[in-house]
A and B are shown apart, each in its own frame.
Chain A
Amino acid sequence: MKKAVLLLVLILHAIAFAQTKAAPDFVLPDIDGANYKLSEHFGKGPILINFWATWCIPCRSEAKKLKKILSDYEDKGLTILAISIDDTKTVGKVKSFVNTNKYPFKILLDTNNEVFKLYQGTNPPLTYLIDNDGNITYSHTGYRKGDEKKLEEEILKLIEKD
């Protein structure tokens, strides 16, 4: 039985690598409590999903770069969803953190990290780029100085394709 299940999982791995990846749909509350459904925003331009947390140092560095990217490409249809994975210990500080650091992004709260898990997250930051058809075209874990250049290239590809 265990071997059969393992074989099934291996088959799924192999198949999945060959497929276009549809972004799993989700509904999360935003920072003011309104529900936000991802699929309702497909077709309006590229969507960049960034999982972050107030206690994550690389997330802060990356956010500074994402601010610039948003200001450069927002008028071309780019949306940045900054999904906080702060849990019950730190979610109470998210609003203040966003206010002081002047985050211009759409902030969503994934307090129990269920969407983070669905998007195969283990540690933040984790970034996905989604095209107009709701397919994932790029993903990246962590942040190193210079990662934003590759991200910008991928965003431009989507904007030019549209």
Chain B
Amino acid sequence: MTHFSRALLWISLFIILPAVAFAQLKVFGNNHLEYAYNESEDVVKQTDRRHFFENWAEGYLQYKDFRLGLRFEIHNAPQIFAFDQTIRHFDLTQRFIEYDTGNLDVRVGNFYTLFGRGLVLRLFENRQLRYNTMTDGVKLDFLHHRVDIKVLTGQPINRINERQKIFQAGELRIKPIQQFHLGSSAVTTRPDNKERVSWGSVFSDINIPYGSLYAEYAREDNPNAANEGKALYLNANLFLGAFSLVAEYKDYDYFRQFEGVLFNNPPLVAKEHLFTLLNRHQLVQNADDEQGYMVEASYPVIEDGVLLATYNFTETHDGAKLYEEYYSQFDWYTSFDWEFLGGVGRQEDPSARYLNVVGSVEIQAWDYYGIKAIYEHQHTTKRLNDQQFYSHALTLSLSKAPTWSVALLSERTTEQESKKDFWIAGQVDLKIFNNLDLSMVAGTRRKGKICVGGVCVNKPELEGAEVTLTARF
């Protein structure tokens, strides 16, 4: 054991433990464990492994307005599609110390942040997608009822934990009245052997009794690039009683801010769906060249029954269609605690057209028992060869609140190019005490894309079992 390790252990025993004992120091956190045994031919061929183990342990120590945060991660072996397979992760991946009074927050160490709606800067983590643009540096947030200020400097990390060039950023939001905000943000960095690159935006946020309007315009200053980028995002909400209308518009031109890591995550302006097959063919964002809009209307046509209709469209600046979707949905929660959700729609991307019918029914069988069935049907027509095929997904589940649920998940396809045509798995979820959740899946699961927020990741096929254990403390 090194000197530092020994020191850390003594500090734990003689300072942290007594402090905790006197209840001055508060400790909280969580542990997330995942184990998978996967015999899928694709996975074994790519990784030469069948066993995958991950554990994320996060702990926070709080003393009055001070907070210390730590995360220790183990990845053995690293998940495919998420990490460089030559890297082994056994490390303290996140640590920070923070002073937070609510109005003033100063953090040294690892942090995430968001400016405006993400046109200029969004550093975030999505664990399900293994997406992480964590930054190591210093961040200061000042929040006041008339003005919010954020300033930071740091080094973001890429997907194989390499630190990138230092950048600086700041955002100022002025709130002369509660209904009107005006703001501005800027990010700047200097790549190796290149001129300094900067991005800046102005935004406004207006709230009125019958709706709201958000607008953000951003530009790039990049002497190294042939084309300097610009971006515009508009979002309007309009209410007439219970009728709601949302409209969004985007115009992103050479605005994918990549200098080692992706700094920004502008709004996708596409539908986030409630069903698996619908989310499998989402728009993948390309902020270098896309423009488009979305309109969505919703209205409670009956008591506890909401009808929704949405249309979204994205094309390049040359007019090449990238994505188009029509979708309508009805959600009805009956007075006897049954819930019906149904949708029909059409999605289209450059490779194929998809016609979708989806539905779910959930009933409360007895006091604490629930039964749920979800059916999804997707008819695909490929553009290249006009090949047509169907995919169906059926999920049946039984639950007893608050302790357990069991589910059967299946999917079938008639796609000729697919190696398999049928997948089926059983899933059991248990709540052990208040703070411990156990989930077990065994069987087969189709590989495919999962898309969230314009970020898509391919989940590997599963032939085997997965266990997930999450503890909160």
Q: Does A21 lie within 8 Å of B72, measured CB to CB?
A: no
Q: Would you call the interface of chain B mostly helix, strand, loop, or mixed?
A: strand
Decide yes or no: A4 and B333 within 8 Å by CB, A112-B112, A144-B401, A146-B370 being known contacts. Answer: no
Decide yes or no: A147 and B402 within 8 Å by CB, A32-B178, A120-B472 being known contacts. Answer: yes
Q: Does A15 lie within 8 Å of B28, measured CB to CB?
A: no
Q: Does B246 lie within 8 Å of A141, measured CB to CB?
A: no
A54 within 8 A of B: yes
User: Pick the contact of B270 from A89, A122, A145 — CB < 8 Å?
Assistant: A89
Question: Across the two chains, which residue of chain A brings its CB closest to B92?
Answer: A5
Q: Does A145 lie within 8 Å of B175, measured CB to CB?
A: no
- CA gap between A27 and B148 in the complex, in Å: 12
- CA gap between A10 and B128 in the complex, in Å: 24
Selected interface stretch from B44-52, B159-167, B261-269, B413-421? B261-269
User: Pick the contact of A88 from B103, B117, B402 — CB < 8 Å?
Assistant: B117
Selected interface stretch from B3-11, B184-192, B313-321, B381-389? B3-11
Report A-chain residues with C-beta under 8 Å of the C-beta of B179. Answer: 32-33
Q: Does A15 lie within 8 Å of B127, measured CB to CB?
A: no
Question: Across the two chains, which residue of chain A brings its CB closest to B297?
Answer: A96
A76 within 8 A of B: no
> Chain B: interface residue count, which band?
35 or more
Q: Does B175 lie within 8 Å of A33, measured CB to CB?
A: yes
User: Pick the contact of B70 from A2, A9, A37 — CB < 8 Å?
Assistant: A9
Report A-chain residues with C-beta under 8 Å of the C-beta of B265. Answer: 87-88
Report B-chain residues with C-beta under 8 Å of the C-beta of A111. Answer: 114
Q: Does B242 lie within 8 Å of A8, measured CB to CB?
A: no
Decide yes or no: A149 and B401 within 8 Å by CB, A33-B207, A100-B299, A117-B125 being known contacts. Answer: yes
Q: How far is the CB of B210 from chain A (nearest CB, A)?
A: 10
Q: Does B402 lie within 8 Å of A150, measured CB to CB?
A: yes
Question: Across the two chains, which residue of chain A brings its CB closest to B235?
Answer: A92
- Bitwise, A29-59 to B at CB < 8 A (1) or not (0) is 0001111010110000000000000111100
- CA gap between A35 and B261 in the complex, in Å: 31
A-B pair count, CB < 8 Å, reads 235
Question: Across the two chains, which residue of chain A brings its CB closest to B21?
Answer: A15
Report B-chain residues with C-beta under 8 Å of the C-beta of A145. Answer: 337, 362-364, 368-370, 399, 401
User: Pick the contact of A122 from B127, B246, B473 — CB < 8 Å?
Assistant: B127
Q: Does A100 lie within 8 Å of B243, measured CB to CB?
A: yes
Decide yes or no: A12 and B29 within 8 Å by CB, A27-B143, A89-B268, A139-B472 being known contacts. Answer: yes
Q: Does B298 lie within 8 Å of A97, measured CB to CB?
A: yes
Decide yes or no: A139 and B434 within 8 Å by CB, A1-B2, A12-B61, A60-B331 being known contacts. Answer: yes
User: Pick the contact of B5 from A4, A22, A149 — CB < 8 Å?
Assistant: A4
Q: Does B401 lie within 8 Å of A5, measured CB to CB?
A: no
A101 within 8 A of B: yes
Q: Does B267 lie within 8 Å of A92, measured CB to CB?
A: yes
Q: How far is the CB of A55 from chain B (nearest CB, A)?
A: 4
Q: Does A34 lie within 8 Å of B72, measured CB to CB?
A: no
A25 within 8 A of B: yes
Q: Does B28 lie within 8 Å of A24, measured CB to CB?
A: yes
- CA gap between A27 and B296 in the complex, in Å: 30
Q: Does A120 lie within 8 Å of B58, measured CB to CB?
A: yes
Q: How far is the CB of A104 from chain B (nearest CB, A)?
A: 13
The winner among A2, A33, A37, A100 for most chain B CB atoms within 10 A is A100
User: Pick the contact of A99 from B181, B244, B248, B368 — CB < 8 Å?
Assistant: B244
Report B-chain residues with C-beta under 8 Å of the C-beta of A55. Answer: 272-274
Q: Does B1 lie within 8 Å of A4, measured CB to CB?
A: yes
User: Pick the contact of A13 from B23, B29, B103, B207 — CB < 8 Å?
Assistant: B29
Q: State which residues 69-111 of A face B: CB under 8 Å.
A: 87-93, 95-97, 99-102, 111
Q: How far is the CB of A20 from chain B (nearest CB, A)?
A: 8
Q: State which residues 119-162 of A face B: CB under 8 Å.
A: 120, 122-123, 138-142, 144-147, 149-150
Q: Does A33 lie within 8 Å of B205, measured CB to CB?
A: yes
B458 within 8 A of A: no
Decide yes or no: A89 and B454 within 8 Å by CB, A15-B27, A112-B122, A114-B112 being known contacts. Answer: yes
Decide yes or no: A146 and B368 within 8 Å by CB, A100-B243, A140-B402 being known contacts. Answer: yes
- CA gap between A110 and B10 in the complex, in Å: 38
Q: Return the 3 tightest CB-CB contacts between A and B, nearest first.
A: A146-B401, A145-B370, A96-B244
Residues of B within 8 A of A (CB): 1-2, 4-6, 8-9, 12, 16-17, 20, 23, 26-32, 57-62, 67, 70, 72, 90-92, 100, 102-103, 112-114, 117-118, 122, 124-125, 127-128, 143-145, 148, 175, 178-179, 181, 205, 207, 211-212, 214, 235, 237, 239, 242-246, 248, 265-268, 270, 272-274, 296, 298-300, 304, 306, 331, 333, 337, 339, 341, 360, 362-364, 367-370, 399-402, 405, 429, 431, 434-435, 437, 452-454, 470-473
Residues of A within 8 A of B (CB): 1-13, 15-17, 19-22, 24-27, 32-35, 37, 39-40, 54-57, 60-61, 64, 87-93, 95-97, 99-102, 111-114, 117-118, 120, 122-123, 138-142, 144-147, 149-150
Can you list 21 A-B pairs with a CB-CB distance of less than 8 A?
A2-B90, A13-B29, A21-B28, A24-B60, A24-B62, A27-B102, A27-B103, A32-B179, A88-B117, A88-B122, A88-B265, A89-B272, A89-B452, A90-B453, A95-B211, A99-B239, A123-B128, A144-B402, A145-B399, A146-B368, A146-B400
Given contacts A12-B16, A16-B473, A22-B26, 20 further A-B contacts (CB under 8 A): A1-B2, A6-B57, A8-B9, A9-B70, A13-B471, A15-B20, A15-B27, A16-B29, A16-B59, A35-B143, A61-B333, A88-B265, A88-B453, A100-B242, A120-B28, A140-B431, A142-B437, A145-B337, A145-B401, A150-B401
